[in-house]
Amino acid sequence: MSRHESVTLVTGAAQGIGAATARLFASRGHAVLAVDSRGEVGVVADEITAAGGRCLGHVCDVRVEPEVEAAITTAVSEFGQLDVLVNNAGVVLVKAVEETTWEDFRHVVDVNIGGTFLFCKHALPVMKAQAGGAIVNLASVSGHVGQTDHAVYGATKGAILSMTRALAWEVAPFGIRVNSVSPGSVDTPMLRGDVEIESRRTGRPLETVRAAREAEQAFDRWAEPHEIAEVVWFLAGEAASFVTGTDVLADCGWVAK
């Protein structure tokens, strides 16, 4: 075990926003535990290490409490501390409510809400012992606006907004800050899959669906994952030392319209 100036754990780090966040934090001097349910997270960790960063990949199902506990233990045993937790792991569901099975519902709730809850639960004792830390939860614009066929997904993201606000007050006496980020459309495998589902469901060409989604952003484009990672970096760092219990909309004006 060796102590580092700052240690960050990122869930859902095998691709998209999670991978971009792991890369950004490592490039700026953090030791990173990159967590994902897929073994590909090891590839991301190897790439970061090859670029001169300090990163370990760790396979974990965020729905399984013993695995979550093991991930937190690994971060502390390998790096000596845990300063930042980024709860990015999530899944999307694009289905009408009447077509949604109970299994569909449970899966999205267990990953999106359950995973965030479990990592917060098991990271907090470490952060309390250190008398400080920062948690950044990934919510979504879907927690702020209504989207057809996204009722369950949007509900989970709305729950993360509420959890963030309540937890911020709960842990403020221990010097721990809790905030969230609500991205708009970000060019990730998740969103591309979402668009493909909508294209098949509506019979519209893929390019037409994508163009419509891009038009929901004021700049008529999707964000790149690293743009959201920069918002996470801000909320996790000293520049946001007076910011807690809030959500940052990185949605390119979607909600403001």
Hey, which residues are catalytic here?
153
**CA-based nearest residue to 181, from 247, 244, 227:** 247
Beta-bridge mates of residue 178: 135
Q: How far apart are CA 122 and CA 66, in angstroms?
A: 10
- How many Å apart are CA 102 and CA 177, to the nearest integer? 34
User: 41-50 — which CB contacts under 8 Å span 24+ positions?
Assistant: 41/13, 41/14, 43/14, 44/13, 44/14, 44/15, 44/19, 47/23, 48/22, 48/23
CB 117 within 8 A of CB 164: no
CA 220 to CA 214: how far, in whole Å? 5
